[in-house]
Structure 1
Amino acid sequence: MKTSTDKQRLDTTETSEAGLLTTITSIAGVREFVRSARRDGKMIALVPTMGYLHEGHAALVDAARRDNDIVIASLFVNPLQFGPNEDYDAYPRDEVRDKKLLTEHGCNLLFAPSVKEMYPEPMATTVELPELARVLCGKSRPTHFAGVTTVVSKLFHIVQPDNAYFGQKDGQQAAIIRKMVRDLNIPVSVISVPTVREADGLAKSSRNAYLTDEQRMHAPVLYRALTAARQLLEQGERDTRRLKDTMQHIIAKEPEVNLDYAEVVRLSNLQSIGHAEGEIMLAVAAYVGKARLIDNFQLNVGSNDVTNLYK
């Protein structure tokens, strides 16, 4: 039964020329909204976010609007995916700005639950994919992806979307979520949207807010390293050792940037490969000051050509 509190949440709105944004903070309220949309035969998209939204998130909402009738964005800084001494408390937050961006891009519903709403009691159940989660970012953030898959699984069950949209920048995350969806027969299509970049190639990220002006000047080295590796692929190089050495060498030239990893993996299972062919990911991660930045290129490597997987 809908309570007066739920009714109040359903009536919370923001407006712009692009449309109307409803904000709901309760799981029951979201489920009621979705049931109503389903009765009208609407196709529903979910854009999961942790807030502090930027042009990359706007691109996800835009892609979702093109393919669906209703776009739901979630805003939840998930404590389960932050390890000890990570930046959960300091993670940037600005819900007013987030609502403005979502409204301007025609998002229909913002689901913004509290931690207590999502986790009313300590979690006894988690969703984990250890083989895919222990590589790349998982080496330095061993509990991170269990937190991601657990909260995304909860969001999929709460919203029950037809399609869910994730940024290509978080390539390992998207690969893990796709595998989770296949393994658990969750009826949702996971769609990757190309990374949105600054003019100098730096991938848009909420954590870019941590960078000082000087650190910001050094941060695009991740993009330059990926670009150099891709150029080698286009020239016919298929030995991944040389690709990785090239990326490591370029990043090592920046004294303010501390490399975490530079890898070449098969996209389907995230395992390192010796010969680059088929669908692969060039992936880098590095610390620039206190900000841990990640980036990747996802490519289809043929015998004579190299193409982007997402356009």
Structure 2
Amino acid sequence: MLTFRTIKSLTQCLSGYRTSGLRIGFVPTMGFLHDGHRALIAESVERCDITVVSIFVNPAQFGPTEDLERYPRALDADHELCRKAGVSMIFLPDASEIYPPGFQTFVEPGPVAGPLCGAVRPGHFRGVATVVTKLFAIVQPDVAFFGQKDFQQCAVIRQMVRDLNLPVEIVTVPTVREPDGLAMSSRNSYLGPTDRKRALCLSRGLLAAQAAFAEGERDSGRLIAIAQSQITAVDQLQYLELRDAQTLEAIHGLVDKPVALCVAAMIGPTRLIDNVLLTPPRTALSDRDLEVVSCAVDRQVNVGGQGSRPS
């Protein structure tokens, strides 16, 4: 496994593999890797000849009062996870490598970035879209892998790839959960024992709505109410909404197409997000980029073999 800190050294190495016709997979991360990242890497290793993982805490996607400085970092552990998972290369740039002096060009996403996290974190997806575009230009991957937990981020990136004609296939991998159902996140490390226990209400609410949907409930208001009845231990519920799984438009009335039930909440000082997909029987997602990876679903991606099957 090779580690590169500069764009020039990485691109020089990758050019040879690209000339040889090898398929390059890419997993962009902010580090503090966990089994959710491991699932993304596993899909890349299975599908591609070369797997590149970037570790870069992107300052452009953090607001002035957010947790950039205290965002968890564990480079030694990240290297070990990548090595054991079969990663070919790690890209570990400094902020000045990605945003050199005089940098002034940003990618401005459209309406898909407006609701949900976009409304709560102004400018966040501008930073995400910009850094992902830059990383795609640097790595030039054939396939890039993202986690379903960051559902709106996936939607923003898919739209950006279509709009800008970027030659990258986007694969969305199902959310990886702890044995008790909590969606894996680097920010879970902020949670003390009491807050960790309270955070379980998020997945319980979403999975209760998912179970009701599987039993035939189709009224959007009732589905949200079922979830909300479980999500009572949070300090602030920022949103709990049903959104079209492709466009992220708000859903009202009966659910007759694939939707995502999305939540964001504050547990103490920690902001957590989660979601589940609700897909009516005999309804296919027309955008193949949104398809969850069938082999990942077959593995019931969770830790310890327990907990709920990812949506």
TM-score > 0.5 by shorter chain: yes
Which of 120, 136, 156 is residue 140 of structure 1 equivalent to? Answer: 120
Alignment of 1:195-214 (within 5 A): 195-214=175-194
Query: 1:249 Cα shift?
Result: 2.3
Instruction: Kindly provide the amino acid, as one letter, of the partner of residue 182 in structure 1.
Output: R
Query: 1:123 Cα shift?
Result: 3.2
Query: 1:309 Cα shift?
Result: 5.2
Cα displacement string for residues 115-173 of structure 1 (whole angstroms, at most 9, x for unaligned residues)? 00000024321112231111011111011011000000000000000000001100110
User: Matched residue of 1:83: which SS?
Assistant: coil
Query: 1:304 Cα shift?
Result: 9.6
The corresponding residue for 2:306 is: none
Alignment of 1:71-220 (within 5 A): 71-220=51-200
Residues in 2 aligned to 1:304 and 1:249: alpha-carbon distance in whole angstroms? 28
**Is this contact kept in 1: 2:213–2:278, CA < 8 A?**
no
Residues in 2 aligned to 1:122 and 1:207: alpha-carbon distance in whole angstroms? 32
**Is this contact kept in 2: 1:24–1:30, CA < 8 A?**
yes
The yes-or-no answer on 1:293 pairing with 2:277 is: no
The yes-or-no answer on 1:266 pairing with 2:244 is: yes
Residues in 2 aligned to 1:159 and 1:299: alpha-carbon distance in whole angstroms? 34
The yes-or-no answer on 1:34 pairing with 2:17 is: no
Q: 1:238 to 1:303 in 2, by over 3 A?
A: farther
Percent of paired sites with the same residue? 45
Residues in 2 aligned to 1:117 and 1:124: alpha-carbon distance in whole angstroms? 14
* Length, aligned pairs only: 287
The yes-or-no answer on 1:25 pairing with 2:2 is: no
Larger relative strand fraction: 1
Residues in 1 aligned to 2:43 and 2:283: alpha-carbon distance in whole angstroms? 31
Which of 235, 247, 257 is residue 278 of structure 1 equivalent to? Answer: 257
Normalised TM-score (structure 2): 0.89
**Is this contact kept in 2: 1:133–1:142, CA < 8 A?**
no
- Structure 2 residue runs without a partner (length 5+): 285-289, 298-311
Residues in 1 aligned to 2:255 and 2:102: alpha-carbon distance in whole angstroms? 44
Instruction: Kindly provide the amino acid, as one letter, of the partner of residue 242 in structure 2.
Output: V
The corresponding residue for 2:35 is: 55
Residues in 1 aligned to 2:241 and 2:226: alpha-carbon distance in whole angstroms? 11
RMSD: 1.6
- Dislocated runs of 4+, deviation >4 Å: none
User: Matched residue of 1:197: which SS?
Assistant: coil
Residues in 2 aligned to 1:209 and 1:60: alpha-carbon distance in whole angstroms? 20
Moved more, 30-39 or 295-304: 295-304
User: Matched residue of 1:110: which SS?
Assistant: strand
**Is this contact kept in 2: 1:277–1:303, CA < 8 A?**
no
**Is this contact kept in 1: 2:235–2:265, CA < 8 A?**
yes
Larger Rg: 1
Residues in 1 aligned to 2:65 and 2:283: alpha-carbon distance in whole angstroms? 46
**Is this contact kept in 2: 1:299–1:309, CA < 8 A?**
no
Cα displacement string for residues 38-97 of structure 1 (whole angstroms, at most 9, x for unaligned residues)? 122210001000000001001110010000000000000000000011000010011111
**Is this contact kept in 1: 2:40–2:147, CA < 8 A?**
yes
Residues in 1 aligned to 2:101 and 2:171: alpha-carbon distance in whole angstroms? 31
Residues in 2 aligned to 1:156 and 1:299: alpha-carbon distance in whole angstroms? 30
